[in-house]
Structure 1
Amino acid sequence: MNKEYIDGQDLKKLFIGAANYLDQHKDEVNSLNVFPVPDGDTGTNMSLTLKSAVKQILNLEELSVDKVAAAASNGSLMGARGNSGVILSQLFRGLSNGLKGKKVAYIKDFAESFNMAQETAYKAVMKPTEGTVLTVARECADKAAQLSKDEKYISEFLYKIIEYGNEVLNKTPDMLPVLKQAGVVDAGGKGLLVILQGAYNTLNTDEEIEFHETSTGAKTQSQNMNFHKDIDTNDIKFGYCTEFLVNNTDKNPQVFREELAPLGDSLLVVGGDNFIKVHIHTNNPGIVLEKAVEIGELNDIKIDNMRRQHRRLVVTEEEEKKAEENEKEEENLENDEIRKYGIITVSMGDGISEVFKGLHADYIIPGGQTMNPSTEDILNAVNKIKAENIIIFPNNSNIILAAEQAKELSDKNIYVFPTKTIPQGISALISFNEELSVEENIENMKEAIGEVKTGQITYAVRDTEMNGTKIKKGDIIGISNGDIKATGQDVQEVSERLLNDMVDKDTSIVTIFYGNDTEKEQADELAGKIEKEHNDCDIEVIYGGQPLYYYIFSIE
């Protein structure tokens, strides 16, 4: 289809087509994870982030290129999951900045906005690495600038960008040795090109495109337990849970927050590029909405009468108990006076969550491998806590960027302590002292995580070769310090070899967290063998309940 420009309806269609196409191919992108582990989630994270962008676009009443791009930016910003999702949201943010004021967009406009997109994404990453999605985005932007001088039609322009982008993608293993060693191209770069391909496919069809939304993805603790027990309505001070999004506003979020504060509690007001998202418990949702409509366009309005909510889902006794505990915890958090510290931690597995509760974490976000929480999930947790200082422990390298993005969107005093593993998170919290200053605690926690090593036992999802070791699909693999240290067919045997490799003369404590696919008897047997080999170490066995990983080891 020979189009010289794209209007708002066209751009909406392109985003929907791109989201549907990525959803179809997300498993292919996931399979490009450098480690052949079952938690490759780059495709899933990018897909969920893009779907969040499309949901925002679908709420628009007026379709112009700049409004569609802004909606995509806002939606992806809040829905970003994992490092790949955060980078994608920043690409959309730059794209939106480049298309500001445009009712329609020509090739020259897209070339300029592509360049702003890659610049914005590079700035969002503290230490950009070549051979990643950033490289693919930059090279595609450079190609777009070159093509804009001669190309006339959008279709041919986009086709040539994708063609060149795939050439760049195939070179990423030469830029990043770890990709070459694993025999894969960069997953994020592949995801970006899948998105562009989906847009191109849609551009070349006259058919109506329907958005295919699926229900996969991480949920916060409160989302996972979306049911309520019968309650005494007299206990509810503010009866209406009111949420909405204000688009096309230049209002300062902090000023708007102060205006809404007298109208209720549990108030969350965060802003991005020309948008403000609001959550408030109030007795006057009409007044709140009247104030909001004065500053911009309203979307995603949701009002729940909390006095009439009843449990609609059939749940097991165990789930009901957890829901009740969670409700009590959230009620306690909302009723608490402002404290010096509030702690948020991400956890994988109910046993590990119990450990964090025992270490006085205020709010636990279920997530980690395969289920990275979104920026909005983290912001919702922040909103539950009344404290002068809020410390977030991501406990996964793929959640740190989303936590940092949540920090930027919130007006609270937030510190993201960049724990990359569950053992690091536990060690950091053990060393935490409420009586100390933030700076003293951060220094102590840095020292603590420097003294802990993490080991993980899982299985390979594809054939590969790493560090000269050939790995077959289905093999048991032991990972430590970013390397696969042991492989084999037997979980116990590989676990024993990994632990013996990790434990040294300086080791004093070994903690074994066994997952939901491992029996306690197996964990105890493993502990017994390690104790015989290293009788000067204390060995502790704890139920972790984590998925996909038979064991997580903490070596101190």
Structure 2
Amino acid sequence: MKIGFLDGAMLKKAFIGAAKLLEDNKEEVNALNVFPVPDGDTGTNMSLTMKSAVNQILNLKEYSAGKVTFAASNGSLMGARGNSGVILSQLFRGFANGLKDKDTVDTSDLAEAFKLASDTAYKAVMKPTEGTILTVAKGCAEYALDLSKEEKDILVFMEKVIKYGNQVLNRTPDMLPVLKQAGVVDAGGKGLIIVLTGAYNAITTKEDISLESFQKEAIEAKPTIKHIGTSDIEFGYCTEFMINTDEKDYDDFREELIKFGDSLMVVGGEGLIKVHIHTNNPGQVLEKALKIGELNDIKIDNMRYQHNHIMEHGPIKDLGEVDKQEKEVKKYSFITVSIGEGLDTVFKELNADYIIPGGQTMNPSTEDILNAIEEVNGEHIIILPNNGNIVLAADQAKELSDKRVYVFPTKTIPEGVTALLTFDLELDIEENLQNMEDAISHVKTGQVTYAVRDTEIEDVKINKDDIIGISKGEIMSIGDDVEQVSFDLLKNIVDEDSSLITIFYGNGIEEEIAFKLSEKVEEEFEDFDVEVVFGGQPLYYYIFSIE
């Protein structure tokens, strides 16, 4: 079989095939995490991002190559999770720009789109690192450009590009020493090869690919529920929808909607716009939207009804955006990412306005963070990701918002707690950000978890189910006893410049056991203040903050 071009229907099939193969193999990608800890989520994040892309494709009424790729771009943009998901969304963004306005594409078109995809992804990362998904994407793009000059059969073209991409992937350990030490290839790069392979497999088969796994899934941030009266809910209907449109400039449309309610969000472009608004007149809002395009994914929730239901029966499944922030605009609003009942309580007590559930193994999407931004009313909005794998999604949400948003790139829970403790409401934003940066530079984080596989890192053998203590990306202690490994970890990271040790104990650790550990720590570090706090975090027995 020889194929000279792809039309929109074939590209739709290719994206579905890519998403399906990635979903089927996401655990293989997750297992490539450098550290053998139970939070390898590259495959999961890429798969969820792909599903969001496919969901937008399925909403299309007509399938030209350009429209399919732009739907995938917009869907992945809003659904991107983790650094790998954000980079994948940027690859799709560049790919879509390369195929703009095209009905069909040939190998030359694909090669140019691959190149633009790679360039776009590189620009999206502040400090690109070779030996990652970026390297694999660039290698495929450069090879595709040369190959397309001679090869016009798309199947042969893709087969050779994937084969070359695998060769680049297998060289990633030579580019990143940490991969070589762990004996793995780059997880994101592996995920990208699976995406390309799934697309190729879909094009080669004459069978329809099941769409069962890719029906619309509502994965939204669950806000913190406050006890408020329904009279405080000025605009009662949470209204969301997508517009398929050729409209390029939608500022006027946004201005028209402002008078109908609050919590307005109008983002997207290039053929697809997402709208969110709290209003008392959803019908009038939809009428305005129909003037610029076709509507999809319409969702209207009665927030007053939902509130009463919660007060009487507890939360409703997939409640979404029920929480109503204070009407008046504050000078500062804080959004923080947290996972664990105790950690949530800590952040609430430190005046966090909005808590996005997430962390290890559960990275929130760009849309989750964007929804949080729209729900708070600060003149300045500060986001604390508290996880290095959430920073890029937060940055992407910031770029999509019209509000004054600052992503303060905290990479651990202790850094997030310290940042909030340092913040002074009387100071201006620039001085606060500088003070927060200075403060977290003096914070050390230790984490205790377990190994999910056998491995060897820097000549140290680690067996599956070993207890391991980690700090600053290094394994500092190993053993078979949680308390002993925790104690050894602290001895390795506490220094004379520190004076306070906070122990956040996780879900499954009894309070009595945590206090026994604290007594041992107090005996070892006599001049230190030691605090014990219930964190309730999963996967990690203890999180330590050393200041």
Common fold, TM-score beyond 0.5? yes
**Residue matched to 1:374:** 365
Residues 32 and 53 (structure 1), Cα distance of their counterparts in 2 relative to 1, 3 Å cut:
same
SS at match of 2:537: coil
Residue 531 of structure 1 aligns with an amino acid whose one-letter code is E
Residue 522 (structure 2) pairs with residue 531 (structure 1)? yes
Corresponding residue to 2:490 among 475, 499, 507: 499
Residue 32 of structure 2 aligns with an amino acid whose one-letter code is L
Instruction: Report 1:473-488 matches (<5 A).
Output: 473-488=464-479
SS at match of 1:221: coil
Residues 74 and 36 (structure 1), Cα distance of their counterparts in 2 relative to 1, 3 Å cut:
same
**Residue matched to 1:178:** 178
Please list the CA deviations of residues 500-545 of structure 1 after superposition, one character each: whole Å capped at 9, or x if unmatched: 1111212100000000021111111111111101110000000000
Residues 321 and 136 (structure 1), Cα distance of their counterparts in 2 relative to 1, 3 Å cut:
closer
Instruction: Report 1:301-340 matches (<5 A).
Output: 301-306=298-303, 308-309=305-306, 330-331=323-324, 333=325, 335-340=326-331
Q: Give the whole-Å Cα distance in 2 for the aligned partners of 1:450 and 1:11.
A: 48
Residues 542 and 97 (structure 1), Cα distance of their counterparts in 2 relative to 1, 3 Å cut:
same
Q: Give the whole-Å Cα distance in 1 for the aligned partners of 2:401 and 2:328.
A: 20
Residues 485 and 167 (structure 1), Cα distance of their counterparts in 2 relative to 1, 3 Å cut:
same
SS at match of 2:214: coil
Residue 111 of structure 1 aligns with an amino acid whose one-letter code is A
Residue 461 (structure 2) pairs with residue 460 (structure 1)? no
Q: Give the whole-Å Cα distance in 1 for the aligned partners of 2:379 and 2:248.
A: 25
Residue 214 (structure 2) pairs with residue 213 (structure 1)? yes
Residue 144 (structure 2) pairs with residue 144 (structure 1)? yes
Residues 219 and 285 (structure 1), Cα distance of their counterparts in 2 relative to 1, 3 Å cut:
closer
SS at match of 1:134: helix
Corresponding residue to 2:254 among 247, 252, 257: 257
Q: Give the whole-Å Cα distance in 2 for the aligned partners of 1:217 and 1:459.
A: 32
Residue 282 (structure 2) pairs with residue 285 (structure 1)? yes
Q: How far off is 1:468 after superposition? A: 1.9
Please list the CA deviations of residues 163-197 of structure 1 after superposition, one character each: whole Å capped at 9, or x if unmatched: 11111100000001010011100000000000111
Identity %: 63
Residues 130 and 75 (structure 1), Cα distance of their counterparts in 2 relative to 1, 3 Å cut:
same
Q: Give the whole-Å Cα distance in 1 for the aligned partners of 2:4 and 2:42.
A: 33
Residue 13 (structure 2) pairs with residue 13 (structure 1)? yes
**Residue matched to 1:543:** 534
Q: Please, what is the CA RMSD of the aligned residues?
A: 2.4
SS at match of 2:425: coil
**Residue matched to 2:202:** 202
Corresponding residue to 1:268 among 261, 265, 268: 265
Please list the CA deviations of residues 399-435 of structure 1 after superposition, one character each: whole Å capped at 9, or x if unmatched: 0000000000000000000000000000011000111
Q: How far off is 1:25 after superposition? A: 0.1
SS at match of 1:539: strand
Residue 214 of structure 2 aligns with an amino acid whose one-letter code is E
Residues 339 and 350 (structure 1), Cα distance of their counterparts in 2 relative to 1, 3 Å cut:
same
Residue 374 (structure 2) pairs with residue 383 (structure 1)? yes
Instruction: Report 1:105-144 matches (<5 A).
Output: 105-144=105-144
Residues 216 and 451 (structure 1), Cα distance of their counterparts in 2 relative to 1, 3 Å cut:
farther
Q: Bigger CA drift: 39-48 or 198-207?
A: 198-207
Residue 16 of structure 1 aligns with an amino acid whose one-letter code is I
- What is the TM-score with the length of structure 2 in the denominator? 0.95
Q: How far off is 1:236 after superposition? A: 4.6
Please list the CA deviations of residues 54-82 of structure 1 after superposition, one character each: whole Å capped at 9, or x if unmatched: 00000000110000000000000000000
Please list the CA deviations of residues 268-289 of structure 1 after superposition, one character each: whole Å capped at 9, or x if unmatched: 2223444321111223223212
Q: How far off is 1:6 after superposition? A: 0.5
Residue 361 (structure 2) pairs with residue 364 (structure 1)? no
Q: Bigger CA drift: 254-263 or 102-111?
A: 254-263
Residue 346 (structure 2) pairs with residue 355 (structure 1)? yes
CA contact (8 A) 1:464 1:471 kept: yes
CA contact (8 A) 1:253 1:271 kept: no
CA contact (8 A) 2:248 2:270 kept: no
SS at match of 1:271: strand
Q: Bigger CA drift: 161-170 or 149-158?
A: 149-158
Q: How many pairs were matched up?
A: 545
**5+ residue gaps, structure 2:** none
SS at match of 1:238: coil
Residues 237 and 530 (structure 1), Cα distance of their counterparts in 2 relative to 1, 3 Å cut:
closer
Residue 435 of structure 2 aligns with an amino acid whose one-letter code is N
Q: Give the whole-Å Cα distance in 2 for the aligned partners of 1:219 and 1:288.
A: 22
Residues 205 and 111 (structure 1), Cα distance of their counterparts in 2 relative to 1, 3 Å cut:
same
SS at match of 1:419: coil
Q: Give the whole-Å Cα distance in 1 for the aligned partners of 2:316 and 2:51.
A: 33
Corresponding residue to 2:234 among 222, 237, 250: 237
- What is the TM-score with the length of structure 1 in the denominator? 0.93
Q: How far off is 1:310 after superposition? A: 7.9
SS at match of 1:54: helix
SS at match of 1:397: coil
Residue 80 (structure 2) pairs with residue 83 (structure 1)? no
CA contact (8 A) 1:457 1:479 kept: yes
CA contact (8 A) 1:458 1:476 kept: yes
SS at match of 1:455: strand
CA contact (8 A) 1:133 1:189 kept: yes
Q: How far off is 1:301 after superposition? A: 1.8
Residues 54 and 145 (structure 1), Cα distance of their counterparts in 2 relative to 1, 3 Å cut:
same
Q: How far off is 1:295 after superposition? A: 2.4
CA contact (8 A) 2:111 2:145 kept: yes
SS at match of 2:51: helix
Q: Give the whole-Å Cα distance in 1 for the aligned partners of 2:473 and 2:316.
A: 38
CA contact (8 A) 2:230 2:307 kept: no
Q: How far off is 1:145 after superposition? A: 0.7
Residues 312 and 193 (structure 1), Cα distance of their counterparts in 2 relative to 1, 3 Å cut:
farther
Residues 353 and 469 (structure 1), Cα distance of their counterparts in 2 relative to 1, 3 Å cut:
same
Residues 61 and 217 (structure 1), Cα distance of their counterparts in 2 relative to 1, 3 Å cut:
closer
